[in-house]
Amino acid sequence: MAHVPHVRDHSSDAVVLRWNRHPSSVGLARLELRKALAGWGLSRLEDSALLILSELLTNAARHARVSPGREIETRYLTGPHGLRIEVHDASREQPRPQAPELDACEGRGLVIVEALADQWGVSEREGGVGKVVWATLSG
């Protein structure tokens, strides 16, 4: 079943979308980011940006302990220095990079984000409950 995002804002320099916690949301969010990058002339960032988004959104969907029905918000922002990807959720649980075993199937997401992004971090959500995990890529 396809899960269409709820569009909150789609301006010339920002795309804000809301997603449910269904795994198909990650692929749909990647599609929306790909479209935004093309429109902003930032397709050269696509490979890294899509992988970063996938890891951050998957982490939020899997690990953010919130009540059922709570949505996750993504924000794609462009500016003079490049791209900022944000994933907002209602959980206060902070993500932390791990050092997984070599044969582990999970646990590498934030290590990948750290390797690809110019910067990344976690902040409290302004005016809301939870956190925002963000990453930037130079344009």
pLDDT, one tens digit per residue, over 22-45 is 888 999 999 999 999 999 999 999
Would you say residue 21 lies in a domain?
yes
Q: For residue 67, give its domain range.
A: 6-138
Task: Read off the CATH number of the domain in which 98 is found.
Answer: 3.30.565.10
Number of domains in the chain: 1
Provide the H-helix boundaries in 41-79: 46-63
Rounded CA separation 9/63 (Å): 26
Q: What are phi and psi of 71, to 5 degrees?
A: -95, 160
pLDDT for 137: 98
Residues of the chain under the 70 pLDDT cut: 1-11, 64-70, 97-108
Answer yes or no: is 1 within a domain: no
pTM here is 0.84
